[in-house]
Structures are given as C-alpha cells and as structure tokens.
Amino acid sequence: MLRLSGKVAFITGGGTGIGRACALAFAREGAQVAVAGRRREPLDKVAAEISAAGGKSLALACDVTERSSVEDALAQAERHFARLDTIVNNAGAVVVATVEHTSDEDWARVLAANLTGTFFVSRAALAPLRRAGGGSIVNIGSVLGLVARKDRAAYCAAKAGVSGLTRAMALDHAHEKIRVNCICPTIVETELGMQSIQQAGNAAAEIQKRIAEIPIGRLGKPDDVAMMAVYLASEDASWVTGVSFPLDGGLTAY
C-alpha cells in the first residue's frame, strides 16, 4: 500500500531542489501533486516527470510573497483535484551577511520568502484542509532556525520564525486534525544551498569545511528531506505535530 495513496499535496518551490524531490517522492507514494513556484519552466518539467511515471500533477504559478497569488494557486489546486491534504512550504531565500551588512531590502526579501510566505500559504490552506477532514502542513525550515551560524542573521531570524509558527499552528489546529511540523536540514546540495556556499568565498574549501562539521560526513541530498516530508504527510505520523526535526547528519548533536 502506497503511503500517500488518495492524497493531494501542494508544494511550493516545487520546480527545483528540495521541492522537486518532494514532488517526485510524493507522487511515487501515490499522491496527486500541485507544484507551485515563480518559474514556470522547471514546474512544467516536474509535472511532466510525474505524468511520465503514471502520476497526476499540476504546475501552478505562485509567488508566496504575494497573498493574492497564494490564494489563487491554492484555489486552483483544490478545484483541479477536488481536495487538498498536505501542504509543503518549501520556497525560500538566503543572504550571507551579518545584521550590520544586511540591507533593508535583503532583510525584507529573506523574511518575505521564508516566513511571510509560509504564513500566507498556511493560512490560505486551512479552509481546504478542513474541507478534507484534516491534513498535514510540512514546513521546510532549517537547522539555522534552531541554532545559529555566523553571517546568516536574516536567514536565522526567518527560519526561527518558521519553527515558532509551526508550534503555534500545531496547537491552534490540532483539534481540527490538522498537523503542523517542520523539517530543519543543514546544508543540502541544492541551488539555494550552493548559493550560500558560493557567497562565502572559496566554494571548494567551504564545502570541505561544512562536511567536516557533519558527523555523518556528507552534505544533505534533496531526497533526504523529501523522505522525511513523505513520513510527516502520511498516516505513519498521525500522532506527530508541533515538532521541528533536525535533519543534519548529527550536526546539532554536539
């Protein structure tokens, strides 16, 4: 029995990286998947991959920083699939800087993409999740929402906010059978993850430095996050809510 058979998932940032991996993993487990994001071409490619494998998918233009765009995309997804069961809040942005060297524009951009976008999507998703009789919201946070790293002030603040929002929503909506959890990876081999590496200077040296910090001895892969998201969306996690899970190869065990 596929773990997500009969379920419908809405995944932001679904065209690349962790979002793409989540979309493909959810489809493999039997879910119908709405992939949402700002860039249409990668979304269409993911939808085509799912269709080619025999699944059902829908690509939707969505800017999570714009409330009307979020509400329209969720409404389209529910109309198309007749229900929504799972939301994966994956869209995000990063800036490598201290508070002193973070511009007003970069602060606003990072908070909007990571925290306000999660708020907009989660709030708009409540009504369709209620109509489905409950469901699961899976936020893709960061280990930097639990601990800090130098030169990541705005990102740490945004992801800490996502972890706090996760706990608050879990308490507010548990009685409606809506579960809310957060996955907190350390650096993952994605476009966004490599962007933060490149901004640090010598990319090759920085990668080796980051690997040395991780007891398991490798960077994360998108599928590492995707399989945790599948679990949290499934009935296997029916008694799990309000938790921010470190997914970091042992980094925060120190």
Q: What is the mean pLDDT of each run of 10 residues along the chain (254 residues)?
A: 96 97 98 97 98 98 98 98 98 95 98 98 98 98 97 97 98 98 96 78 87 96 98 98 98 94
Position 33 in a domain: yes
Position 2 in a domain: no
Position 139 in a domain: yes
Position 197 in a domain: no
Residue-level pLDDT at 54: 97
Position 198 in a domain: no
Position 209 in a domain: no
- Maximum Cα interatomic distance, the chain, rounded to a whole number of Å: 53
Position 205 in a domain: no
Q: Which residues are known catalytic residues?
A: 155
Residue-level pLDDT at 191: 83
Residue-level pLDDT at 192: 80
Residue 8 is inside which H or E element, if any? strand 8-12
* SS3 of residue 225 by DSSP: helix
**Spatial distance between the Cα atoms of 80 and 222, rounded to a whole number of angstroms:** 27
Task: Supply the range of the domain harboring residue 234.
Answer: 8-188+221-247
Residue-level pLDDT at 254: 87
Neighbours of 77 (CB within 10 A): 27
CATH code for the domain of 226: 3.40.50.720
Q: How many domains does the chain fold into?
A: 1
| Tokens of residue 241, six digits | 């809510």
Position 108 in a domain: yes
